[in-house]
Structure 1
Amino acid sequence: MGTITNLLLCSFVVVVAVVAVAEVDLMPDRPFLRVELNEQATLECCCSTRVESLQLQWVKRALAHNVTLDPENVTFTDRVKRDERKESDQFCGILRFKSVELRDSGLYQCMLLNRNSMTHGTYLQVYKPLEKTINLSEKTKNKILAAEGILLLLCVLLPATTLLCQSKKLNDLERKKGQKEEENIYQGLNLDDCSAAYDQIERSQAHGPYQDVCNVIEEEEEIQLEKP
């Protein structure tokens, strides 16, 4: 009788466990949470179930030297606390950080103690903000931006003004050079020679074209030809 009773009890426990497992569906977790150092953080793992209560255990997987370590149970303190929430057919486990530290970074998962399964988990990243090297007020920043704008404008205008001045000087030099070349054309010329040459040209045009005479031809009227 005792053996039969034990068998019946074991069968009942197995059936209850199977029913409980079948009635629990894991819900997707928040995959990533990034929190600033010394700020608060809240993680949740939820499942859909008809069971009145579930036993959840929070575990953490840390990363060291690009290697994921084995999961370890989360230690609860005054800074790290756990909580639970039951709403209709949804059961949630809550992990609250009063003030996160850099060593809190890692993957947090919920392990269901009454079944061999774990939630997908949420990776908590704790970061330290960059400290300002020079703490400047907004008014000072605006003044610096205005000064940079003025310097930029000067960097554009000064080279352009210099190029315009150089171009004007080159044009003046070219004009003076042209005038000097025109003066050099007439420099050194004798006006008397020019007048004599001009008179000869005028005389030749008045007497007609030049004539070449090879033999002396005697005619009744002697024609005197002007030598070219």
Structure 2
Amino acid sequence: LRVRGTGTTEYDLNDTLEELRDAILAAHAGMDATQLVTSVFITDGFDGIQRGADVLGDCRDTVYLATEDFCMSNGEFAVVYGVNHQASGKAIYANVNVYGRTPTTGNDNEFAGVASVGTRDNLPGTARTYLGDHPQADLFYAYRVARDNPGGATNCLVIPAPHGRLRLDVLCLAFRAYIEPGRKVGPCAGEMLYDRAILFRSRPKESAR
């Protein structure tokens, strides 16, 4: 197997990543915010073999990260943000994907990707919405994910309507970064700053006294 990793990390960008998070939270300060946890979603095949775990036919050309599951109603939205791994040099391409889970029999779920945006189309430059003229702004991205976009907001990935058995009640956000330049294999997750997401919901109105 080709060895992942080069010893070069994205950790020098962590301070700016924290600034981006703070700017996103400040921009939507009137809403309830839940910072979703991102972790390695699919490990390498040999790990799955040893643990007897389903790694969903993984391919070593990428690294698989994903948030915890969540629910989202109309009028709510998430902001996905993080390092543009293509711009940082850790990947030749990276993307953000919306997945829906639909419970089936037993403990199984139908799991399907329904929307995506990537570093070769809409993600570059989007962190400037929050970071302005920060010198490292173009090494990051920030993009809204929602079920609807009545205001026609730019930089918004709209989740398609449920169809048939795919109800899309439960969602997660998955992140993939493909092929570290010069390595012919996906990057090492331990050398990357994980992509993140914050879920925003309207605050409940205070009860009349």
Larger helix share, 1 or 2: 1
Q: TM-score range by the shorter chain?
A: 0.3 to 0.5
Determine which structure has more spread, i.e. the larger CA radius of gyration. 1
Larger strand share, 1 or 2: 2
Q: Which has the higher contact order (CA 8 A, sep 6+)?
A: 2
TM-score (norm 2): 0.32
TM-score (norm 1): 0.30
